């Protein structure tokens, strides 16, 4: 019994240290999000856009459109759910979402009900994969360019 207690304590300390290290090494700041309600009652979130071409990625029941699209650094991505079920958009890899969380507004996932949309701003340059956390076979890539 004593060995089990020691093992649990060691696992807790190592796990806690990992998450602390992970949080100190992430460089993206959490964006400020404002929430709006559209005329059809759907709630959406948005962020201010910096003079760059916006990108809209639409989800339908068959997956995401613009699955290999590009946007300029400082530009915005608008996620739109035109499917008939809730989606949860997460940065790859699944299920930990440890990739560039700018594409999900700094959060673990963006949850959108049918008819909802949200807009986020991206600054980090690179190629970033994303997926529907509820069906990880649906996803795509966003290329953020200088």
**Would you say 122 and 78 are in contact if contact means Cβ atoms under 8 Å apart?**
no
| pLDDT of the residue at 1 | 82
Q: In tens digits, what is the pLDDT along the chain, a chain of 146 residues?
A: 888 787 677 676 665 554 444 443 333 333 333 333 333 444 333 333 334 578 999 999 999 987 678 999 999 999 999 999 999 999 999 999 999 999 999 999 999 999 999 999 999 999 999 999 999 999 999 999 99
> Omega into 31 within 30° of 0, i.e. cis?
no
Which pTM was predicted?
A: 0.65
Residue 135 inside a domain? The answer is yes
Domain extent, residue 63, equals 33-145
Residue 44 inside a domain? The answer is yes
Query: What's 86's domain CATH number?
Result: 2.60.40.420
Strands 70-72 and 135-145: parallel
| Tally of structural domains, the chain | 1
State how far the Cα of 66 lies from the Cα of 17, in Å rounded to an integer.
38
If one counts every other C-beta atom within 10 angstroms of the C-beta of residue 109, the result is 19
């Amino acid at each position: 019994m004593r060995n089990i207690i020691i093992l649990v304590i060691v696992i807790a300390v190592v796990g806690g240290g990992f998450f602390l290290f992970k949080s100190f090494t992430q460089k993206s700041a959490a964006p400020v999000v404002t929430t709006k309600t559209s005329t059809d009652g759907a709630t959406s979130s948005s962020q201010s856009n910096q003079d760059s071409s916006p990108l809209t990625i639409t989800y339908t029941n068959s997956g995401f459109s613009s699955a290999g699209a590009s946007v300029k650094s400082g530009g915005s991505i608008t996620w739109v759910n035109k499917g008939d079920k809730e989606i949860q958009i997460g940065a790859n890899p699944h299920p930990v979402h440890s990739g560039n969380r700018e594409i999900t507004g700094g959060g673990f996932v963006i949850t959108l009900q049918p008819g909802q949309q949200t807009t986020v701003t991206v600054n980090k340059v690179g190629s970033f994969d994303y997926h529907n956390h509820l069906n990880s076979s649906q996803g795509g890539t966003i290329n953020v360019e200088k």
